[in-house]
Structure 1
C-alpha cells in the first residue's frame, strides 16, 4: 500500500505544533506571569478543558492541504474560545498562521482573501473580548505577521503555477517536435519512394523490353541476343548505382559517425544518355533543346530528369511497336518547359483508368516546385507529358 507522504508530513506538523502549544500553555500560566511581574487579572490557570481546546486548535493542521479553508475555520473556533474564557492563547496562534498559509498557497485568490479577512476578524474578536489590553504596536505586529504569512502562501502558489506552466509548455513543445519529426519522416519516406519507383520502373521496363527482344532472336541471331543481354546487364548496373545513391542517404558510417558519400543526382545534363538508352531499348527517341541552356536549381534539375524518365518509360510500355518519342526541353526567360510526346497508341487508354505511381510521383514533384503539369492524349494521336517549372531571375 502506497503511503501519501504529504499527509504524513501534515500529521507530524500538527503534532509538533500541538506539543509546542501545550508546553507554552502549561509553562506560562498565572504563577509564571506573577514571577515576571505581569498582571494576571482574569487569566484562568491551565486545566484539562483548556488543554483540550489547545489540541483542538492544532488538530486541523493535519488536514491543511486537503481541506485548508475548513481546517482554518475549525482551528479558529477553539482558538477564539481560549481567549474568551480567559485561558490565554499560548502558542495556538502558530496553528492559525500555518492554516492561513495553507489556504493562501492551495486555493484561489478569492478564497485566500476570504481566509485573510476571516483571520483578521477572529483576531479582532479575541482582542475585543480581552478588552484590547494589548498595545497598538502589538496589534500592528499581528497585522503585519498575518499579511506576511498570507503573502508567502500566495507567492508559493504563483511559483507552483509558473512551474506547471513551464512543464506544460515543455510538453507541448515536445509533442510539436514529435509531430514535426513524424511529418519529416513521412515526407522523406514519400520522397525516397518516388525516387525508388522512378529508378526501378524505368530500368525494369527497359530490361523487360530488352529481355523480350533477346528471347525472340535467341535462336535466329545469337549475336544480337548477346548484345541485348549485355544491354540488360548494363541497365541493371545503372539501376543498382542509382538505388545505392538514393538509399545511401539513410546510411551513416557507424565507426566515424559521418554520412556516407553520395553521388550526384541526375539532371538535364544526363538526358542525352537517357534518350540513347531508350533508343537501345527499342523506342526511337530524340532530344530537342530550345533556348539557351543555363544552370538550374538542384530540385528542378532532378524533377525535370525524372519527368522525362517517367514519360519515356510510359511510352516504352504503352505506345506500341513503331512509335516514336520526342523530348523537348525549352528554356524560357522565367520558366523551363519539359515535354515528352509520342505518336503511339497509348493515348487511347481509358481516361477513367487510375494513374500509376509514377505519374502520381511526377505530380508531386512538379507541385513541390510550383510547376504546372499536363498529362493526356494528343489530338492527332499519341500521348504527352508536359510540365512548366517557374524559374527565378538569373536561373
Structure 2
C-alpha cells in the first residue's frame, strides 16, 4: 500500500520538476501557452455565452470581442510586469461593468493580482485594489441598485483570497529559500571548520615531530662528535657515548611510535599510544642529563617541590626547555654553556633558558621558535626570545599562568 500511495506522489513531483525546468529555460513558451488558453476561453465566451450574465445583452459583438482581447492578451507579461498588466486591464474591466456586459474575462485580473502579491512589496497591493474596486462598484451601483453589495462583496472577497494566496506562496517560497541558504552556509562553515581543524592538526604534528626528531638528533650528533674524539684517547668514554646514543635513539623511536600510533588510531577507538604518559616537569632532570652527555654544560635551578600544573602546561614547559637547549646545541657554537631557571611566581611559572653563544649564531625565526610560541599561547602564556643586553648570549623567557581559570580547555 505504501508503494501504491507514494508512486503517484513521486510521479507528480517529477512532472512538476520537469515543468518548472521547461519554464525556467523558456519562460516565453509557458507565458504564451497560458495567454493563448485564456484568450481562447475569453473569445469563446464572447461568441455568445457572455449574454447569460450580462445586464445589457444588446451590446455590439465587436465591443465584446475588443474587451475580451483587452482582458486576456496583456496576461503574457503578467510575471514580468504584473502592475502594468493590471493597469492595462482595468479600463476594459471598467467598460465591461459600466456597459452592463459583465464579462467573465474580467476575473482574469486575479492572475496579475496574484503575481503582485507573490513578487512585489506589500504596498503594491493597495494600488492593485485601487484598480480592481472601481469597476466592480460602478457595475453594482448602476445595475443592482439597493442590492449592489451582493455583486460587489463576493468579487472583492475573491480578490482578497487571491492576494492572500499569493502572500502565502511567497512566504513559503522565502522560507524554503532561507532554509536552503542556511543549509548552504552551514555546509560552507563545516568545510571551513574541517580545513581549520586539519591545518591545526598538521601544525601540532609538525611541532611534535620537530621537537622529537630535532632534539634527539641534535643530542645524537653531539654524542657522536664527542665519541669520535674520545675514541682515540679513551675507548671507555667512546663506549659510554655509544651507549648514550643507543639510549637516545630508543627514546626517539618510542616517542615516534607513540605519535604515529595516535595518528593511525580510529577517531572513535581508544589508542594505547594515546595513553602513553607525556613528558612532565618530573622529566626535566633526565632531559638535562641527556643534553649534558651530548657535550653542553647545563646548570639548572629547579624549585622543590615542582609547582602543580595541568599535564598540557607541563608538556609545554618541557618542550620549550627542550627546544631551547636543542637550539643551543645547534647554534651556540663550541665552548657554550646553558642555564635553565624555573621559578614559581604567585600566579605563574617563569622559565628562563640562557646560553653563552654569540647572538649572530643564535637561532632564527624558524619552526622551533614558532612552535614554542604556539604552545605557550595554548595556555595563555607568553614567550620572548632574543640576545642578551650585553651581547654575550641568547635568552628564552616563558611565562605560564598557574591560576586554573586562566587555562584554556
Q: Which residue of 2 aligns with 1:161?
A: 174
Instruction: Describe the superposition over 1:157-187 as per-residue Cα deviations: whole angstroms up to 9, x where unpaired.
Output: 2333333333333433443443344333333
Q: Which residue of 1 aligns with 2:403?
A: 392
Are 1:75 and 2:86 an aligned pair?
no
Q: Relative to structure 2, which stretch is displaced further, 242-251 or 69-78?
A: 242-251
Distance 1:22 1:259 in 2: 79
Distance 1:219 1:244 in 2: 36
Considering fraction of residues, name the structure with more helix: 2
Q: Is the 8 A contact 2:301 2:342 kept in 1?
A: yes
Change (3 A) 1:279 1:382: same
Q: Offset of 1:380 from its aligned partner?
A: 9.5
Structure 2 residue runs without a partner (length 5+): 1-20
Distance 2:364 2:255 in 1: 28
Give the number of aligned pairs: 381
Q: Offset of 1:266 from its aligned partner?
A: 1.5
Q: Relative to structure 2, which stretch is displaced further, 153-162 or 218-227?
A: 218-227
Please show how residues 97-246 of structure 1 align to structure 2 within 5 Å: 97-127=110-140, 130=143, 135-218=148-231, 224-246=237-259
| RMSD, matched Cα | 3.4
Distance 2:278 2:392 in 1: 34
Report SS of the residue matched to 1:232: helix
Q: Which residue of 2 aligns with 1:36?
A: none
Q: Relative to structure 2, which stretch is displaced further, 219-228 or 94-103?
A: 219-228
Q: Is the 8 A contact 2:100 2:139 kept in 1?
A: no
Report SS of the residue matched to 1:363: helix
Change (3 A) 1:250 1:61: farther
Distance 2:304 2:236 in 1: 42
Please show how residues 45-84 of structure 1 align to structure 2 within 5 Å: 47=61, 50-84=64-98
Q: Which residue of 2 aligns with 1:364?
A: 374
Q: Offset of 1:217 from its aligned partner?
A: 4.1
Change (3 A) 1:70 1:365: same
TM normalised by structure 1 equals 0.81
Instruction: Describe the superposition over 1:10-41 as per-residue Cα deviations: whole angstroms up to 9, x where unpaired.
Output: 444434444444454446354x57xxxxxx76
Q: Which residue of 1 aligns with 2:4?
A: none
Match of 1:292 among 305, 309, 315: 305
Q: Is the 8 A contact 1:57 1:77 kept in 2?
A: no
Report SS of the residue matched to 1:44: coil
Q: Which residue of 2 aligns with 1:87?
A: 101
Q: Which residue of 2 aligns with 1:28?
A: 49
Q: Offset of 1:117 from its aligned partner?
A: 1.4
Instruction: Describe the superposition over 1:225-269 as per-residue Cα deviations: whole angstroms up to 9, x where unpaired.
Output: 45434433332332233233334443333xx95254322322212
Q: Which residue of 2 aligns with 1:37?
A: none
